[in-house]
Structure 1
Amino acid sequence: MTTLYAILLYVATLIFVLGLAYRIYEYASVPAPLKIPTMPAPLTRSGVVLRILSEVVLFQSLFRSNKWIWLFGVMFHLALWVVLLRHLRYFIEPVWTWVVLVQPFGKYASFFLFIGLVGLLTRRIVVERIRYISNPSDYLMLILLLVIGSSGMMMTFVKHTDIVQFKAFILSVVHLKLFHWQPLPLNAPLLIHLAAVITLMIIFPFSKLLHAPGVFFSPTRNQVDNSREQRHVARWAIEKFETSSR
């Protein structure tokens, strides 16, 4: 079991990193032929930066459109960040002071993460117009995240696992001690948790979860409203014009 999970972690990490890098390259290289910032749009580049930050951190447009969906969305995403920061303790030795301080917050942030996910899943089931445009993958993503969250909470509050031994296993994987990995604790919630995380890492570059990096490349968000002052021409159009004029 230790060998199986160690190899799967390497494979999942490779797919996640390469797949995410390729998708970001695609987003960055695809031309935006039209000037289409959503109004009211910023008039300067610094305004664009502030706009994207407000979307990424505060979910501003979602807040304006639907308050209760915004509440569940913010609850899930902020709790996820705190939980991820808490998990840093398994990858570093010695553990940094601020990671130690975040431990109790990360422990109880899992409840907010779980509630946020249940709210978002309920929205897809109950709201008719959302249910109409939802694919099976939309439900499966939320269910997979719920499995990760609930199995993690199970280890924390119900059936504890050997955290010291688990950290030894993770460090041996991180330090590339190939086929000399420390034993993985055979704890059912831990095995389910790791299997779900591995699955998420593998499918992440091919799923709608790519909205995380994709928001930075959205032309409706990252464009300056300067169409009156400056003509917007896509790079491929300029290249085509230069080629034809030779």
Structure 2
Amino acid sequence: MTIFFAILFSVSTLVFAAGLAMKIAQYARTPAPLKIPTTPAPLTKGGVALRLGREALLFESLFRGNKPLWLFAFVFHLGLAVVLIRHARYFETQVGPLVALVQPLAQPAGLAMVAGLALLLVRRLVVERVRYVTGPSDILMLVLLLGIGVSGMLMKCVVHTDIVAVKAFFTGLMGFELRPLPADPLLGLHLLLVCLLMIIFPFSKLLHAPGLFFSPTRNQTDNPREVRHLAPWAARLEEKG
């Protein structure tokens, strides 16, 4: 089990990092020939940065468009953020101040994450107009995330595992040292689902977070009258002409 997960985590981390870098490079190369910011839009670059920050942290446009969906998504993402920060302790030799700060929120955050995911899944299955545009991959992504959240909460609240040994395994793996991983079936399931998520994440719809910053509807200033918008490739053609 130790050797299997050491190899699996190494491969999944490599796929995750390479896939993420590849997709971000693809986003950066995609031309944006038109000036198409969603109005009302900021007139300055500072306003654009502020807008992107509100969108990334508060889901501003979703709040305006669908408040129940915003609530489900915000609860899930907030819980997920706390859970991810807390999980950093398994890769640190000494617990950092941010991890220590969120430590008391671990159980509420895990419950919020699972509850948000469950509500999003129910919405996909119950609301007819949403169910009509829902594909199998949409359901599978939510089920995968739910599996990770539920298995993690079970280890936190019901079937406890040896977290000291788990931390030793991951800190050792970072230093290319193999340390034994607890032979816990629930832990094995949790780690297996996490590795699966890491492998498919860069190639799935879950990659909307970095994509937001490359969206021309969000990252452009609303100044088409004052400044002519010219894509780099169009500028090169104009210079040649």
Q: TM-score if structure 1 supplies the norm length?
A: 0.95
- Structure 1: gaps spanning 5 or more residues: none
Alignment of 1:1-246 (within 5 A): 1-177=1-177, 181-243=178-240, 245=241
* Partner Cα separation in structure 1 for residue 6 and residue 173 of structure 2: 6
* Contact kept in structure 2, 1:90 and 1:171, CA below 8 Å: yes
Cα distance, 1:51 vs structure 2: 0.6
Cα distance, 1:66 vs structure 2: 0.9
Cα distance, 1:240 vs structure 2: 2.1
Distance 1:98 1:210, change over 3 A: closer
Q: TM-score if structure 2 supplies the norm length?
A: 0.97
* Partner Cα separation in structure 2 for residue 78 and residue 18 of structure 1: 26
What do the CA deviations read for 1:126-181 (whole angstroms, capped 9, x no partner)?
1222211111111111100000000000000000001111111111111112xxx1
Instruction: Spell out structure 1 runs of 4+ moving beyond 3 A.
Output: none
Cα distance, 1:101 vs structure 2: 3.0
* Contact kept in structure 2, 1:48 and 1:224, CA below 8 Å: yes
* Partner Cα separation in structure 2 for residue 211 and residue 99 of structure 1: 26
Cα distance, 1:108 vs structure 2: 2.0
* Contact kept in structure 2, 1:204 and 1:210, CA below 8 Å: yes
* Secondary structure, counterpart of 2:227 in structure 1: coil
* Contact kept in structure 2, 1:52 and 1:221, CA below 8 Å: yes
Cα distance, 1:123 vs structure 2: 1.2
Aligned length: 241
What do the CA deviations read for 1:41-70 (whole angstroms, capped 9, x no partner)?
111111101111111111111111111110
* Partner Cα separation in structure 2 for residue 174 and residue 10 of structure 1: 9
What do the CA deviations read for 1:70-116 (whole angstroms, capped 9, x no partner)?
00100000110100111111100121233223212122210000010
Using the TM superposition, name which of 231-240 and 191-200 deviates more. 231-240
* Contact kept in structure 2, 1:75 and 1:113, CA below 8 Å: yes
Aligned residues with identical type, % of pairs: 58
